[in-house]
Amino acid sequence: MSHLCLCFEVHQPTRLRPYSVFDSDGHYFNHTLNRDILLRVAKNCYKPAFGSLLRSVRKHQGQFRFALSITGQTLCAFKRHCPEVILLLQELSQTRCVEFLAETYHHSLASLYCQHEFRAQVDLQMAIIDELFDQQPTVFRNTELIYSDAIAQTVNQWGLFKGILLEGTQTLLEKQSANYIYHSPAADNLKLLPRNFQLSDDLAFRFTHAHGKGKPLTAKSFASKIDRVAKKTQIVNVYIDFETFGEHHGRATGIHTLLDELPQQVLDRPGLSFITPAQAMANLPTAGPLHVPSPISWADTQRDLSAWLGNPMQANAMSRLFEIKPLVAQTHDISLMHTWRLLSTSDHFYYMSTKCYNDGQVHAYFSPFDSPYDAYIHFMNVLDHFVEQLPTPPGVSPEIVPDLPLSPSPQTPFDPLPKDSSPRKKKSLSELLQKFSLRQSMHPTKPRPLT
């Protein structure tokens, strides 16, 4: 018996508003834009797609199972603006066929900078999952699948989780397969579940042309691809952004039809069943240790940290943010800490990327700003004003995970912006995906801004 493990990531950032040096108020976030994007994505994706999953779970009476990873700040936005999505998620949870994963509440890179803050954001996430869905997650999925042996060691020390999800990069798995369970050499009892990025990206990015001759992928053809891989392996792990269903690919493409039909198509194949990450880690043997000495992620073609730390602007903004964290904590001001944590969201640094070519176009597409320089300037203006609200000037160095420097890795030099650095016209996501080579693997995790 082989297994398909489906995991869906749901995240909406709290985007900043344009904030100049002349602004002097504490209203940093573009609440109107954030609300409007959330409502649009809820209409196109969350409500119809979660409804489809609920119908499939009930129809198949426990045979169809999957996992969800939803950031805490997104759940709070659902509660505020579209509580009907929360009701759908609660119905899914009550079926006991849906596993909620743990992650960082604010979708931050705290795991790279501050172990105390890393744990605090995970605890916040665990608390809201327990409150809303009466579940205590036993599997961890870090922001953007960022993972290394050092992070595994930190997570293992908490004693909360059976295992971690990570990206199955070609470099990492050069002589191994993503379709097995491994364990961390830093913690033998911590199991690792790598993503099959080829199959995941067939659905997430190549959906409209993955079937050949320009035809979209169908549930039948996708289930057949999974079955061919599964016959030779232990488990197939497909992890994608949930916004794939109706937002990245519109209803007219047939993406919702695929979601409706996929559970039946998989279950019709003898020897293939659905499994959640916790079930897999509890019931399947490991194939050995998987060493990950340097951090990896599922972002961009490089699958490293360069999506958020690939240029000096990003490194400076991130360092400055974590430099003031101890001072924020010393104030014991809940409002200030909440604002600081919203600023720690990885999306703000993603928008500052100056990468060129395919990755650069995707970064620009999902940014609410006209250029990475604008994203940096507005963020730093906000941060400067925020620092002025603190009782003392910054002077405390952040707690840093020893093997992760604040500056970009010398192995991942930043890409300069093209000579023509004028604001870039945003293309539709379908145009971008059609343009990219089928062999490319990108990971845009942000819903497109309103146009």
CB atoms within 10 A of CB 364: 23
Spell out the long-range contacts of 39-44 with Cβ–Cβ below 8 A and sequence spacing 24 or more: 39/81, 39/82, 40/247, 40/450, 41/12, 41/243, 41/246, 41/247, 41/447, 42/78, 42/81, 42/82, 42/85, 44/246, 44/247, 44/250, 44/251
Give the span between the Cα atoms of 231 and 366, in whole angstroms. Answer: 38
Q: Among 34, 3, 111, 107, which residue's Cα sits nearest to residue 404?
A: 111
Give the span between the Cα atoms of 55 and 64, in whole angstroms. Answer: 10
Alpha-carbon distances of 21 from 100, 245, 382, rounded to whole Å? 42, 40, 9
Selected catalytic residue, list 99, 144, 247, 261: 144
Give the span between the Cα atoms of 278 and 67, in whole angstroms. Answer: 9
Residue 222: strand, helix, or coil: helix
Residue 245: strand, helix, or coil: strand
CA dihedral for 298, 72, 274, 183, sign (positive or negative): positive
Give the span between the Cα atoms of 71 and 102, in whole angstroms. Answer: 9
Q: Among 299, 223, 313, 310, which residue's Cα sits nearest to residue 264?
A: 223
Q: What are the structure tokens assigned to 125, written together?
A: 């996430």
- By CB atoms closer than 10 A (0-12, 13-18, 19+), residue 232 is exposed
Give the span between the Cα atoms of 163 and 155, in whole angstroms. Answer: 9
Helix axis angle, 83-94 relative to 47-60, nearest 10°? 20
Give the span between the Cα atoms of 272 and 333, in whole angstroms. Answer: 52
User: CB–CB of 30/396 below 8 Å?
Assistant: no
Active site residue 144: yes
Q: Which residues are catalytic?
A: 144
